[in-house]
């Protein structure tokens, strides 16, 4: 696909309206995967269409050259397919270049240091931040390597630190910069600041002092369901556009971006194209993590164990749908505030409705990727908060029991995609109590108070046994019947 082809598409294919030759890269984005290309890049594309041509994107892949190799022959153009009640196709032109860090680390560092770069953003997933128990793990081998030497950075922290050292040396009137986390982690901007600051403290204290007045670290809440690309999508795009694309993307119609307003570099006018700037991002982060992301992981866990491939298939099961809704209403809603102007009940129904979109198949195993990292933020805080108020949390006890069996089953099927996979695989015991404790400890549950609550942990073990021996369908039905009887007895 070339720029010429992008301008000679069928009438129903929307394309960008700006001259890409006039676009400069004001944004460096780490993690140039499907989500970024269906979310932040779309906002940038919209902004470029308004005439603000200094907000093109230089993408950085920290690991693989695959995305660069796929998009470079297409001039980094690609098709976004929006799958709702109707289907829409759009060519996105916001990405100007993609740099593969292991191949050309100096190019990444130069992009961070370049004065035209005013915003650095990231979607590198939870594991990319090297977190443990909600903090940057400086014992992580990659960070240990960077603490010893920044000659060859390995993590986002190392590349940012090297780039900021160079930027501080240049210290031009365009040297101020904003670094923004766009991943599903709480206080992501703070994690970026902590990791970079530790490296600068070790290798360049004067640069650390400089960052305190020249670099803003902020968080954002991003939301759009964006599944993995498969051959069906490629064939669909080929039929509609006439282009044989290597890596198109698809997404639901819904799209949301809430950004913490702590910019020190130039601020893109994303609010003119649908994003929202706020002073306090935490309520929005918590709403996304503890409602939407929590529900996604619940549905995918139950769905995988039920034999379903996709999330929407799981939610076609009456009892899975009921469980997800009740878990949110009974446990999350009373203990996780939503931002002013939002209704928790309405948000729950909107979340479920979006996940039921059969036009956008999202694999349960894709949601289950890195789940040992995800449930630390999606489930554990809610459990602790509820139990600290003496509230009962039976739905999440069942969730944890089912999750243990999900890990065990996915391991046995050799389909588990998790950074802690090897640690799970080393747990060799037939004692379910020991397995539950070991698996949850690997997922850092030991940092939460519920892990030491004997009655709660015993209920998790019982649910895990039930799911293993009876199967998820029978175990789930029995659980829901038991909860219904409890409600009747309370009435």
The CATH number of residue 305's host domain is: 1.10.1040.10
Domain end position, chosen among 221, 245, 279: 279
Number of domains the chain is built from: 2
275 and 293 assigned to the same domain: no
Q: Judge if 443 and 337 occupy the same domain.
A: yes
397 and 479 Cβ atoms separated by less than 8 Å = no
> 387 with 275, same domain?
no
Same domain membership, residue 267 and residue 163: yes
Same domain, 102 and 218: yes
76/355 Cα distance (integer angstroms): 30
In the predicted model, residues of the chain with pLDDT beneath 70 are 1-7, 490-491
Say whether 217 sits in a helix, a strand or coil: strand
Token pair for residue 432? 């379910």
Residue range 426-437, pLDDT digits in tens: 999 999 999 999
Q: Which of 212, 246, 279 is the last residue of a domain?
A: 279
pTM comes to 0.93
Q: Decide: helix, strand or coil at residue 257.
A: strand
Encode burial over 156-187: b for 16+ CB neighbours within 10 A, e otherwise.
Answer: bbbbbbbbbbebbeeeeeebbbbbbbbbbbbb
Q: Which of 279, 303, 327 is the last residue of a domain?
A: 279
Q: How far apart are CA 204 and CA 167, in angstroms?
A: 12
Are residues 93 and 125 located together in one domain of the fold? yes
What is the C-alpha separation between 33 and 228, in angstroms, rounded?
Answer: 9
Query: Do 253 and 364 fall within a single domain?
Result: no
Q: How far is CA 363 from CA 48, 226, 312, 320, 366, in A?
A: 33, 11, 9, 16, 5
Distance, C-alpha 324 to centroid of its chain: 20
Judgement on whether residues 308 and 433 belong to the same structural domain of the protein: yes
Judge whether 32 and 58 are in contact, CB under 8 Å. Answer: no
Q: Give the E-state strand segments of 107-164 in sequence order.
A: 119-122, 131-132, 135-136
What Rg, from alpha-carbon coordinates, does the chain have? 23
| pLDDT value, residue 132 | 87
Q: For position 214, which CATH number holds?
A: 3.40.50.720
151 and 166 belong to one structural domain: yes
Q: Are residues 210 and 289 in the same domain?
A: no
81 and 210 in one domain?
A: yes
Q: What is the pLDDT of residue 4?
A: 43
pLDDT of residue 2: 55
Structural domain that includes position 49? 3-279
Cα separations in angstroms, 406 against 301, 302, 441: 6, 8, 16
Q: What is the pLDDT of residues 386-431, one digit of tens each?
A: 999 999 899 999 999 999 999 999 999 999 999 999 999 999 999 9
Sign of the CA dihedral with 240 first, then 242, 244, and 246 last: negative
216/338 same-domain check? no
CA separation, residue 208 to residues 33, 141, 214, 257 (Å): 30, 23, 10, 30
CA 479 to chain centre: 30
265 contacts 53 by C-beta, under 8 angstroms:
no
CA atoms of 156 and 167, how far apart (whole Å): 16
């Amino acid at each position: 696909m070339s720029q010429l082809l992008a301008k000679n598409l069928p009438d129903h294919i929307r394309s960008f309206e700006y001259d890409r030759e006039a676009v400069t890269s004001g944004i460096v984005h780490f993690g140039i995967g499907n989500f970024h290309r269906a979310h932040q890049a779309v906002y940038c594309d919209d902004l470029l269409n308004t005439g603000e041509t200094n907000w093109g994107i230089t993408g950085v892949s920290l690991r693989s050259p695959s995305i660069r190799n796929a998009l470079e022959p297409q001039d980094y153009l690609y098709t976004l397919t929006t799958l709702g009640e109707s289907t829409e196709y759009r060519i996105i032109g916001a990405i100007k270049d993609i740099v593969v860090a292991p191949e050309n680390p100096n190019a990444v560092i130069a992009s961070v240091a370049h004065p035209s770069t005013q915003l650095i953003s990231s979607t590198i997933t939870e594991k990319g931040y090297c977190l443990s128990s909600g903090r940057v793990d400086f014992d992580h081998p990659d960070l240990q390597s960077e603490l010893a030497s920044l000659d060859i950075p390995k993590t986002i922290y190392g590349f940012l630190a090297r780039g900021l050292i160079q930027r501080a040396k240049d210290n031009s009137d365009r040297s101020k910069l904003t670094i923004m986390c766009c991943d599903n982690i709480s206080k992501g901007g703070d994690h970026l600041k902590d990791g970079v600051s530790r490296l600068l403290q070790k290798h360049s204290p004067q640069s650390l002092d400089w960052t305190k007045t020249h670099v803003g670290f902020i968080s954002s809440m991003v939301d759009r369901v964006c599944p993995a690309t498969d051959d069906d999508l490629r064939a669909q795009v080929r039929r509609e556009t006439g282009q044989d694309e290597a890596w198109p993307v698809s997404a639901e119609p819904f799209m949301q971006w809430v950004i913490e307003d702590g910019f020190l570099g130039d601020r893109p006018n994303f609010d003119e194209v649908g994003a929202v700037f706020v002073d306090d991002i935490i309520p929005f982060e918590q709403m996304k993590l503890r409602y939407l992301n929590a529900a996604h992981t619940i549905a995918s866990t139950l769905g995988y164990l039920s034999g379903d491939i996709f999330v929407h298939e799981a939610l076609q099961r009456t009892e899975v749908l009921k469980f997800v809704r009740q878990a949110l209403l009974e446990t999350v809603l009373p203990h996780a505030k939503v931002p002013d102007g939002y209704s928790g009940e309405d948000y729950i129904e909107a979340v479920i409705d979006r996940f039921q979109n059969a036009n956008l198949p999202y694999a349960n195993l894709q949601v289950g990727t890195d789940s040992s990292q995800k449930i630390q933020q999606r489930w554990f805080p809610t459990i602790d908060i509820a139990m600290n108020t003496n509230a009962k949390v039976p739905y999440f006890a069942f969730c944890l029991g089912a999750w243990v069996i999900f890990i065990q089953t996915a391991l046995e099927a050799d389909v588990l995609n998790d950074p802690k996979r090897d640690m799970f695989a080393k747990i060799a015991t037939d004692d379910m109590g020991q397995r539950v404790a070991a698996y949850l400890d690997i997922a850092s549950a030991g940092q939460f108070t519920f892990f030491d609550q004997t009655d709660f942990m015993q209920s998790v073990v019982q649910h895990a046994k039930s799911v293993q021996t009876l199967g998820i369908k029978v175990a789930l039905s029995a659980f829901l019947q038991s909860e219904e009887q409890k409600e009747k007895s309370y009435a």
